Amino acid sequence: MSTSDVGIDDLPIRDELRGKSPYGAPQLDVPVQLNTNENPYPLPEPLVERIAERVREAARGLNRYPDRDAVELRTALAAYLTRTGRHSVGLENIWAANGSNEVIQQLLQTFGGPGRTAIGFEPSYSMHGLIARGTGTGWISGPRNDDDFTIDVVAASEAIATHRPDVVFITSPNNPTGTAVDAETVLALHEAAQQAKPSLVVVDEAYVEFSHRPSLLPLIEGRPNLVVSRTMSKAFGAAGLRLGYLAAHRAVVDAVQLVRLPYHLSAVTQATALAALEHTDTLLKYVEQLKEERDRLVAELRAAGYEVTESDANFVQFGRFDDSHGMWQKILDRGVLVRDNGVPGWLRVTAGTPEENDAFLDAVRELKKEQSA
Ligand code: PMP
């Protein structure tokens, strides 16, 4: 019997995965790629050298498993947060994994799972729902205002009281809208979540270094059910490294160890991340440039007649379009790849280098003229 036309659904996979699509931002080979919120600047050469040095050192010990608890790396991450986050944390408050996606997965494996649910306020980061599905956690789509994409505290608290989720995701700045959430809102939702269950509140701060507002990290103090997750993929310009981390009460760090795979963070990853953290100040200089470029994109898009959502991230949501996918294609035809996140009427562009942003702005200005001609 030929098995050449066997597909996923012919396999004995879990029912909830049948007919579903994997996460898949298109990776197209076009001149200007502004679609996955990456940092456009390659790592500076002295850092590349330092990574090579550290990795060479690590290579000598690759016959052994890596430090399972990533002590040196977690200590360096704690020092970074203490220096920049207006709140002092130690090694015991930090956990690291392969991207914040793995951090989120470990949190859902620990606090979600079969018979449990998680809520996010959508549109938001689609992987929260996808990782929930992958871990057998039920997903609840909570409300978000559809004019400015802020979270309405009353409506969101009501959703928490009604559904009594086990995990609450608050993304700030939010992807794909760019919207930041204030501390009062997080505190109110945390309160609602504790009354309803109590449940774990995850503040996803993947983009916080680009924000006009300070990190919500100090909110973990005295709140063992509140976790802040962060990443080196954006501000540190190291998406290829795959290094995410969380800051929380030490009990949360102990809890995720119940599900983490032994030796999940390779010695090469740990060595590379440590090298990057040595160059924190240089890397964060690019953040300042990107914030300026983000603000320029907002201003120029508005001047060109587009609607733009306030952004605290390294990307900008712009619209509105009757046919956002058609618009996405027209921008792509001009050599610029932006993101259609499936939010009706809106597209998202990542802040790139000034030249890349100029190419994008030229394309959308031209399209505006065509529309009004
Ligand atoms: N959270 C948010 C809000 C994101 O947008 C992303 C990446 N797009 C992540 C987490 C995951 O990032 P990483 O796994 O690269 O740390």
Give the start-to-end residue ranges of the domains of the chain: 26-44+282-372, 55-278
Q: State if residue 206 touches ligand 1 by the CB under 6 angstroms criterion.
A: yes
Ligand 1 atom nearest 124 alpha carbon = 3
Query: What is the structure's pLDDT at 1?
Result: 62
Strands of 122-217 (E only): list them.
138-142, 167-171, 200-204
Among 112, 157, 151, 156, smallest CA distance to 130 is for 112
To which residue do tokens 């240089």 refer?
282
Rg of the chain's alpha carbons, rounded to an integer?
21
pLDDT for 373 equals 73
d(CA 308, CA 347): 10
The set of residues, in sequence order, having a beta carbon less than 8 Å from that of 247 and lying 6+ positions away, is 78, 81, 85, 89, 93, 94, 217, 220, 227, 228, 230
Q: Are 104 and 305 in contact (CB under 8 A)?
A: no
Cα of 182 from ligand 1 centre, angstroms: 20
| Residue 296 DSSP code | H
Fold of 55-278: Aspartate Aminotransferase; domain 2 (3.40.640)
157 lines ligand 1 (CB under 6 A): no
Span from the CA of 206 to the centroid of ligand 1 (angstroms)? 6
The reply to whether ligand 1 has any atom less than 6 angstroms from the CB of 319 is no
Ligand 1 contact, 170 CB (< 6 A) = no
User: What is the predicted pLDDT for the residue at 93?
Assistant: 98
Q: Show the tokens assigned to 103.
A: 């951090």
Helix (H) or strand (E) holding 84: helix 71-84
Predicted confidence at residue 52, as pLDDT, reads: 98
pTM equals 0.96
Ligand 1 mean position, distance from CA 99 (Å):
7
Give me ligand 1 centre to Cα 367, in Å: 31
Residue 177 Cβ inside 6 Å of ligand 1? The answer reads: no
Closest residue to atom 1 of ligand 1, CA basis: 206
99 CB under 6 A from ligand 1? yes
The finding on whether 175 has its CB within 6 A of some atom of ligand 1 is yes
Nearest-CA residue for atom 14 of ligand 1: 99
Q: H helices within 197-259, ranges in order?
A: 250-256
Topology classification of domain 26-44+282-372: Aspartate Aminotransferase, domain 1 (3.90.1150)
Determine if ligand 1 sits within 6 Å of the CB of residue 231: yes
- 288 Cα: distance to centroid of ligand 1 (angstroms): 20
Phi, psi angles (nearest 5°) of residue 162: -70, -50
> pLDDT below 70 — which residues of the chain?
1
- Strands 336-337 vs 167-171: parallel, antiparallel or unpaired: unpaired
Residue in 36, 231, 265 to alter for ligand 1 test, most ligand atoms within 8 A of Cβ: 231
Q: Is the CB–ligand 1 distance for residue 205 below 6 Å?
A: no
Tokens of 297: 């994109």
Predicted pLDDT at 140:
98
Q: What is the atom index within ligand 1 of the atom nearest the CA of 174?
A: 3
- The pLDDT score that the predictor gives to residue 372 is 79
Going from the Cα of 259 to the center of ligand 1, the distance in angstroms, rounded, reads 20
Count other C-beta atoms under 10 Å from residue 238's C-beta: 23
Find the 102 Cα to ligand 1 centroid distance in Å.
10
Closest CA to 311 of 364, 342, 351, 355: 351
Q: Is the CB of 185 under 6 A from ligand 1?
A: no
Cα 317 from Cα 37, distance rounded (Å): 12
For position 23, what pLDDT does the model report? 77
Q: Is 314 in the pocket of ligand 1 (CB under 6 A)?
A: no
The verdict on the CB of residue 237 being under 6 Å from ligand 1 is no
Ligand 1 atom at minimum distance from 104 CA? 10
CB of 204 sitting under 6 A from ligand 1:
yes
What is the Cα–Cα distance from 67 to 78, expressed in whole angstroms?
A: 17
Determine the pLDDT at residue 209: 97
Residue whose entry in the numeric block shows the structure tokens 């200007």: 32
